[in-house]
Amino acid sequence: MIALRPDQYAALAAMAETEAGLHMPPAKRTFVTSRLQRRLRRTGLADFDAYLGLLNANDAAGRAERRHFVSALTTNVTGIYREPHHFDLLADRLRAHLSVGRHPRFRVWSAGCSTGEEPLSIAAVCRTHLGPMWAHRCEILATDVDAEVIEAAGNRTPDAALMAALSRGPVPGDADPAVGTPERLFASLQSGIRYTVHNLLHPLEETLGFDAIFCRNVTIYFSPPAQTRVHANLRAQLRPGGLLALGHSERLRDGAGDLRPVGRTAFQRTGARDLPSKATA
Ligand SMILES: C[S@@+](CC[C@H](N)C(=O)[O-])C[C@H]1O[C@@H](n2cnc3c(N)ncnc32)[C@H](O)[C@@H]1O
């Protein structure tokens, strides 16, 4: 294993903070050293000084390596219906939305979606309530800073374990029990999800807002200023009445403000929406 000196570690930690908000205190040095060995091998560089040179390069190679660097340091653990109580709240929100006479598309953002289990679970809840044509009335945006997981999520195929997990949803089905083959069901779920790379440190260039935002187990790895910045960017995208779900050990840095607690690490917007331009760049 190629060794990492404290000064090199400090430079890499600063880069992780700038690029993705990731907080890398000295205690994480072993983790970082081990995660970056593969990048050293892949790039054929001899040591971390050479690697830092590449990371800091202001050209296409430097930009590409900064993406691999972030990907190497992120934790992508996820699961179908992880923290299931949030999917019950999502179903409540969807029912309330549908109860209004003329309603716009129900829009959900899975922010920090990893390999897609979270948006697939959201899609399954929407489909349970709306049936096979659910994607005409709902839209799910699934984003992650890690281009590798976004590619994996968009290209995945249904395996038996995934489909079995999806069929064990926490929301009782009231529509369309005849779902056809696992492949058809999976294609139906994927059809309403748009996967794209997005860094939550930056405002999302969307004007329509969202009825629900899931940003779970993402900011737990961030520095406090980065958490504040990300939460401001999420709030700016929440429609009035919209649901914000955070991970079980996350909290809103700047207090709840016009977000009313509605369950475990879940909030509902009571006030009007900020303009996206007010979000933190
Ligand atoms: C532990 S996974 C959580 C996945 C899912 N939300 C869940 O709770 O099951 C955290 C995800 O956040 C992503 N992430 C980390 N920093 C990010 C950033 N600055 N912007 C967007 N996504 C980020 C990681 O790439 C990773 O896929």
**108 and 64 in one domain?**
no
**157 and 63 in one domain?**
no
Q: Indicate if ligand 1 lies below 6 Å from the C-beta of 24.
A: no
Ligand 1 mean position, distance from CA 262 (Å): 23
Q: Give pLDDT tens digits along the chain (281 positions).
A: 888 999 999 999 999 999 999 999 999 999 999 999 999 999 999 999 999 999 999 999 999 999 999 999 999 999 999 999 999 999 999 999 998 877 789 999 999 999 999 999 999 999 988 888 999 999 999 999 999 999 999 999 988 899 888 888 776 554 455 556 788 889 999 999 999 999 999 999 988 999 999 999 999 999 999 999 999 999 999 999 999 999 999 988 777 778 899 999 999 998 665 544 444 43
What pLDDT does 132 receive?
87
Q: Indicate if ligand 1 lies below 6 Å from the C-beta of 265.
A: no
**181 and 45 in one domain?**
no
**221 and 95 in one domain?**
yes
What pLDDT does 276 receive?
47
Q: Indicate if ligand 1 lies below 6 Å from the C-beta of 169.
A: no
Residue 200 Cα: closest atom of ligand 1: 20
Tell me which of 17, 68, 74, 80 to substitute to probe ligand 1's pocket, judged by most ligand atoms within 8 Å of the beta carbon.
Answer: 74
What pLDDT does 6 receive?
94
Here the CATH number for the domain that contains residue 62 is 1.10.155.10
Q: Indicate if ligand 1 lies below 6 Å from the C-beta of 201.
A: yes
Residue 1 in any domain: the answer is: no
Which domain covers residue 162, as residue numbers?
Answer: 85-280
Where among 49, 73, 97 does a domain terminate?
73
**165 and 91 in one domain?**
yes
**231 and 148 in one domain?**
yes
The DSSP bridge partners found for residue 106 are 138
**97 and 39 in one domain?**
no
**90 and 114 in one domain?**
yes
**262 and 206 in one domain?**
yes
Q: Indicate if ligand 1 lies below 6 Å from the C-beta of 149.
A: yes
Residue 79 in any domain: the answer is: no
**92 and 60 in one domain?**
no
Q: How many independent structural domains does the chain possess?
A: 2
Residue 80 in any domain: the answer is: no
By the 8 A CB rule, do 123 and 83 touch? Answer: no
Residue 221 in any domain: the answer is: yes
Ligand 1 mean position, distance from CA 68 (Å): 15
Ligand 1 mean position, distance from CA 131 (Å): 29
| Shortest-distance Cα residue to atom 11 of ligand 1 | 112
What pLDDT does 280 receive?
43
Tell me which of 145, 230, 233 to substitute to probe ligand 1's pocket, judged by most ligand atoms within 8 Å of the beta carbon.
Answer: 145
100 class by beta-carbon count within 10 Å (0-12 exposed, 13-18 middle, 19+ buried): exposed
**217 and 100 in one domain?**
yes
Q: Which residues are catalytic?
A: 35, 144
Here the CATH number for the domain that contains residue 163 is 3.40.50.150
Where among 73, 98, 114 does a domain terminate?
73
What pLDDT does 3 receive?
87
